[in-house]
DNA sequence: TCCCGAATCTTGTCATTGACAAGATTGCGG
DNA sequence: CCGCAATCTTGTCAATGACAAGATTCGGGA
């Protein structure tokens, strides 16, 4: 890579974020240092401070971006950003109006796909000890991605048994993604794709052997 | 705390581990430093090196201990350490031989309880980027705790649909524990206990509204 | 078109950390 | 009782995060 000669980098913030994401995906969060990222971007050791203030600021920016990307992934392909209702793939009924269970299942598949496609974002998003926990942008982004799962259940998140569904759906997606990412699941199953395995797990929740009573 | 006067601490390894666990539970993994732990234990900055070689050695020791504690928690109260079959609390049948679903449910409850009771261990156990990933003791400990979930399903872990159950059971327990620990779930539910909420989620898997077909 | 100031950098410094080396102390086994 | 391994202490160096002071330049306003 040719050494940079201009004083102004041009897009140092994005460059540093991308360098951090690559490093995290390869070597984990613990490998990140501001000076290392600055070297990689070809700037002085203090240049990142202007864009992120400090190391916690860098991780906060990654977490905020991750929550928004996740929320986008969970709403892609839908009208008014309400969720994957229309056109969603899932074990739902065929009349065009998806059962809530099918919507939750599809959200779970997208959650796991997000984690696999954005491993570094996913690793950082739930590491509040690395972030500025009181950052308003982070709180808003977390709220946005969390609310989507709650909104997917008809009757609101406080209906009977529906809270159990939301907790189960979110937990199984997050747990699967985390354990797959860390290697525990991959070690104990065969060599299929993680998405296929996740769908096996999701079908335990959403497509039981005996179909549930209507309602 | 009175300053230590003897040259030999007596049980420095345990003291450093406990200091690290307290710090992690309070401020997160990122707050740990070997020198900080040494000060807390009243020894010189290089004393920890004898017990752990380096920082990765400290985290590896915590992860190994955690996996064994988790395995112990999941086998407590059973004969021959095979799982919580006899005397387990759960939505199982009453004839003394627990349904596999009830056993998985009870394992999940214990998994979450472990995470809540040992937050620092739980945080470190799945952070391979902090550990010596090739440590044989760590590999064995991970194998032990992971195998328990696989062994709980009759027909072995490769039976039809049973792999989905194991993946779902492990994922929902791990996901719930991680998200609760991080605060995402607590923010979106009321003020019940985490165990009660987990049981709501677990019942979606293991106690569906319509009981599953026999077999 | 020019000027000024904000944005964006560079260089330097200091405290802290991890890792390593050399040496001191002591408890336990032979 | 002695020797050695285990367990420490003191010191050093490179790297890091944070902060300060100053340099450069780009864009907006007069």
Nucleotide nearest to A44 (CA to C1'): C10
Q: What is the pLDDT of residue A84?
A: 54
d(CA A10, CA B104): 55
Q: Do B27 and A179 touch (CB under 8 A)?
A: no
Q: What is the pLDDT of residue A146?
A: 81
A151 inside 8 A of chain B by CB:
no
d(CA B150, CA A62): 35
Q: Same domain for A59 and A17?
A: no
Judge whether B212 lies within some domain. Answer: no
Q: What is the pLDDT of residue B78?
A: 65
Res B10 pLDDT > 50: yes
* CA–C1' B189–D18 (A): 39
* Closest alpha carbon within chain B to A101: B204
Judge whether B99 lies within some domain. Answer: yes
Specify whether the CB–CB gap between A213 and B209 falls below 8 A.
yes
Q: What is the pLDDT of residue A103?
A: 82
Res B116 pLDDT > 90: yes
Per-residue pLDDT of chain A (215 residues; tens, 9 = 90+): 345 667 888 899 999 999 999 999 999 999 999 999 999 999 999 999 999 999 999 999 999 999 999 999 998 876 544 455 544 443 333 333 456 678 888 889 999 999 999 999 999 999 999 999 889 999 999 888 888 777 766 555 566 677 888 888 899 999 999 999 988 888 777 778 999 999 988 888 776 554 333 33
Q: Same domain for B108 and B43?
A: no
Q: Same domain for A43 and A73?
A: no
Judge whether B2 lies within some domain. Answer: no
B129 inside 8 A of chain A by CB:
yes
Q: Same domain for A30 and A71?
A: no
Q: Same domain for A156 and A99?
A: yes
Q: What is the pLDDT of residue B20?
A: 97
Q: Same domain for B159 and B99?
A: yes
- Helix B194-206 × helix A162-182 angle, to 10°: 90
Look at residues A32, A52, A72 and tell me which one is the last residue of a structural domain: A52
Q: What is the pLDDT of residue B98?
A: 53
Judge whether A83 lies within some domain. Answer: yes
Look at residues A52, A68, A88 and tell me which one is the last residue of a structural domain: A52
Backbone angles phi and psi of B20, in degrees to 5: -65, -45
Judge whether A214 lies within some domain. Answer: no
Q: What is the pLDDT of residue B152?
A: 67
Q: Same domain for B132 and B197?
A: yes
Number of domains forming the structure of chain B: 2
Q: Same domain for A147 and A64?
A: yes
Residue A78 CB-density burial (10 A; 0-12 exposed, 13-18 middle, 19+ buried): middle
B43 touches strand D (CB under 7 A): yes
Q: Same domain for A181 and A86?
A: yes
pLDDT in tens, B42-88: 999 999 999 999 999 999 999 999 999 999 999 887 654 445 554 44
Backbone angles phi and psi of A170, in degrees to 5: -70, -45
The band of B102, judged by pLDDT with boundaries at 50, 70 and 90, is: confident
Of B31, B188, B200, Cβ closest to residue A164: B200
**ipTM of the shown complex:** 0.86
Q: Which residues have a Cβ under 8 Å from the Cβ of B132 and sit 6 or more positions away?
A: B56, B57, B60, B138
Look at residues A52, A72, A94 and tell me which one is the last residue of a structural domain: A52
Q: What is the pLDDT of residue A206?
A: 74
Res B213 pLDDT > 60: no
Of B130, B163, B171, Cβ closest to residue A176: B171
For residue A103, give both structure tokens. 């919507």
Judge whether A215 lies within some domain. Answer: no
Q: What is the CATH number of the domain that holds B124?
A: 1.10.357.10
Judge whether B79 lies within some domain. Answer: yes
Q: Do A174 and B179 touch (CB under 8 A)?
A: yes
Q: Do B187 and A212 touch (CB under 8 A)?
A: no
Q: Same domain for B81 and B24?
A: no
- List the 21-60 stretch of B: residues with Cβ below 8 A of A: 27-31
pLDDT in tens, B176-192: 999 999 888 887 777 78
Q: Same domain for B31 and B134?
A: no
Q: Same domain for B108 and B69?
A: yes
Q: What is the pLDDT of residue B188?
A: 77
d(CA A202, CA A211): 14
Q: What is the CATH number of the domain that holds A36?
A: 1.10.10.60
d(CA A37, CA A160): 49
Q: What is the pLDDT of residue A76?
A: 85
Q: Do B185 and A170 touch (CB under 8 A)?
A: yes
Q: What is the pLDDT of residue B210?
A: 45
Q: Do A129 and B27 touch (CB under 8 A)?
A: yes
Judge whether B161 lies within some domain. Answer: yes
* Domain ranges, residue A144: 55-206
Backbone angles phi and psi of B161, in degrees to 5: 70, -15
Q: What is the pLDDT of residue B153?
A: 64
* CA–C1' A180–C8 (A): 41
Calculate the CA B62 to chain-centre distance: 11
Q: What is the pLDDT of residue A210?
A: 44
Q: What is the CATH number of the domain that holds B37?
A: 1.10.10
């Amino acid at each position: 890579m040719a050494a940079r000669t201009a004083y102004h980098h041009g897009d140092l913030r994005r460059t540093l974020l991308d360098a951090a994401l690559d490093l995290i995906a390869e070597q984990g969060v613990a490998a990140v240092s501001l000076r290392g990222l600055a070297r990689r971007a070809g700037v002085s050791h203090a240049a990142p401070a202007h864009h992120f203030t400090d190391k916690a600021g860098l991780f906060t920016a990654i977490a905020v971006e991750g929550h928004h990307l996740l929320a986008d992934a969970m709403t892609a392909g839908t009208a008014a950003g309400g969720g994957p209702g229309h056109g969603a793939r899932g074990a739902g009924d065929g009349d065009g109006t998806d059962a809530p269970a099918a919507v939750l299942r599809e959200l779970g598949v997208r959650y796991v796909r997000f984690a696999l496609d954005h491993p570094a974002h996913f690793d950082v998003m739930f590491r509040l000890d690395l972030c500025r926990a009181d950052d308003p942008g982070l709180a808003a982004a977390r709220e946005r991605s969390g609310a989507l799962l709650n909104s997917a259940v008809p009757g609101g998140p406080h209906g009977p048994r529906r809270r159990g569904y939301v907790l189960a759906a979110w937990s199984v997606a997050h747990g699967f993604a985390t354990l797959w990412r860390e290697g525990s699941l991959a070690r104990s199953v065969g060599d299929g794709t993680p998405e296929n395995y996740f769908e096996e797990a999701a079908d335990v929740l959403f497509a039981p052997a005996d179909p549930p009573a209507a309602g």
